[in-house]
Each structure stands twice: as C-alpha cells, then as structure tokens.
C-alpha cells in the first residue's frame, strides 16, 4: 500500500502527463460489483446508494473519458482469488478498450496474475537487503542503550523474514524484552515468508501479544470491538461493562 500510494504521487507529480489518478482500496472487496462501486466512488461522490449495475456504469463512463485516468487498485487479492477473477479482468479490459486506451491501471496483489488482453507489466517487490532490514529494526528500538548493545540483529531479521512490518514490531519489543529471549521465542515458531508474507506479520503480532499480562490482553481484546478509532469515553464504557 505504501508503494502504491507513492506510485500515485509520482504519476501526479508529472505536470506534462495531465493525468487524473484515482486511488481505490480493495482490501475488503471480494467481487466485481464491490470493486466497481469502489472505483465509481473514487471519481464521483454524488451516489447516495449503490448503483444497480456498477460495471455497466463504469463502462459507460469510460466511453466518455477524454483525458488520461489511472486507477490505482490496491490490495486486489480478494477479487483476483475469487471465482469472479475473469469477470474483474474483463471489466478492466473493456474499460481500456472503450476509453481508447485513456484508462490505465496499477494493480497491487501478493500473487502474480496475467491476462492476454491487458498484458500487464509485472513489477515484483524484492525483499529488503539485510542492512536495510537491520536499519528498519533499529529504528523502532526506542532505548538507545538497548540499540547499542544489540548483537544478533541479523538473526532477528532472518526470523522476521525481512518483512518491514514484522521488523517494526520486533524492534519495539526489544525495548521491553531481552534480545536472546525474543530470538528464542521466534525460533520456536519461525516467521518464514517463503510461501506467505502474511504469516510472518501474523506470528509477529502473536508474539507481541504473548508478552502482555493477562489484564492487558483482556483489555486489548475488548478494544477490538471498535472497527475504527475510538475515544476514551467509549473505552471506559466497554471496560466497566466487562
């Protein structure tokens, strides 16, 4: 997502392209209708309800588009891994054709995909180098003394699979947990990312959760009832109710 947003800013930064860039988060979208509705919302806020046929609305809009428009479709894994994968790719292909190639797409996903009509260019994000990963880890260690005494950063990087989010969590833990204990805990359940990068982050969060006291765990679980931000008065109400 961070890279996708940076790409969007780079595309906007070129004044000569005269391009409109629309960012769409598809993280919870599992079918074509939901994706199409999200795309429509990105360029039009006048719809107070879900269009009856959002795919057709997108196609009609594409016919009328006279300028270059790029949709950044972030986290498209849900629809790409669903039974509507082909319908999703067909919709993008139709938008390209109907707009006379004025509409383009940047799609981010954890799995590669191909399509004979769209013929996408695949840009694969490689794992951070050991030095880059160590810098990420160290940047999250708030205690300067702890940071200076770290002796096995490379081992922690290895156990975190080089995943930035896992490294950030591990770095923050090092301020309250001895280095050797963290390594021991991680070695008991290695955060391998050879097959699935999400596993590393999930296990790192679980490791972090295990360091909490029972009271802290109970409180954190209670806080998960809020889908977004919450205020102190809401927290107090939930805590007192339990």
Nearest in space to 242 (alpha carbons), one of 211, 218, 213, 226: 218
Residue-level pLDDT at 196? 47
Task: Please give the Cα distance from 8 to 6 (Å, whole number).
Answer: 5
Residue-level pLDDT at 203? 73
- Show the low-confidence residues of the chain (pLDDT under 70): 45-50, 189-200
Per-residue pLDDT tens over the stretch 109-150: 988 888 888 889 999 887 788 999 999 999 999 888 888 889
Residue-level pLDDT at 212? 86
Task: Please give the Cα distance from 111 to 115 (Å, whole number).
Answer: 13
Whether pTM exceeds 0.75: no
Q: Which helix (H) or strand (E) holds 207?
A: helix 197-210
Residue-level pLDDT at 193? 42
Per-residue pLDDT tens over the stretch 78-104: 999 999 999 999 999 999 999 999 999
Nearest in space to 167 (alpha carbons), one of 197, 134, 144: 134
Which residues make beta-bridge pairs with 72? Answer: 23, 106
Tokens standing for residue 90: 């067909």
Q: What is the sign of the dihedral through the CA atoms of 32, 38, 42 and 44?
A: positive
Residue-level pLDDT at 204? 75
Beta strand residue intervals within 61-177, DSSP E: 68-74, 103-107
Burial class (CB in 10 A: 0-12, 13-18, 19+), 43: middle
Task: Please give the Cα distance from 144 to 157 (Å, whole number).
Answer: 19
């Amino acid at each position: 997502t961070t890279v996708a947003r940076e790409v969007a800013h780079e595309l906007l930064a070129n004044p000569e392209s005269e391009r409109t860039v629309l960012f769409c988060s598809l993280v919870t979208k599992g079918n074509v209708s939901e994706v199409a509705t999200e795309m429509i919302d990105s360029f039009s806020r006048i719809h107070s309800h879900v269009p009856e046929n959002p795919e057709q609305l997108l196609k009609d809009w594409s016919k009328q588009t006279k300028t270059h428009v790029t949709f950044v479709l972030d986290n498209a894994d849900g629809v790409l891994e669903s039974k509507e994968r082909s319908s999703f790719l067909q919709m993008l292909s139709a938008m390209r054709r109907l707009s006379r190639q004025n509409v383009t797409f940047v799609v981010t996903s954890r799995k590669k995909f191909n399509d004979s009509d769209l013929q996408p260019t695949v840009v694969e994000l490689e794992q951070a180098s050991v030095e880059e990963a160590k810098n990420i880890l160290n940047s999250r260690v708030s205690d300067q003394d702890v940071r200076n005494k770290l002796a096995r950063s490379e081992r922690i990087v290895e156990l975190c699979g080089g995943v930035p989010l896992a490294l950030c969590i591990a770095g923050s833990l090092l301020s309250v947990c001895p280095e050797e204990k963290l390594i021991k805990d991680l070695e008991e359940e290695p955060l391998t990312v050879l097959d699935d990068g999400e596993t590393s982050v999930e296990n790192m969060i679980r490791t972090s959760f295990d360091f909490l006291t029972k009271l802290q765990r109970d409180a954190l679980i209670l806080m998960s009832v809020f889908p977004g931000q919450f205020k102190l008065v809401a927290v107090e109400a939930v805590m007192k109710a339990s």
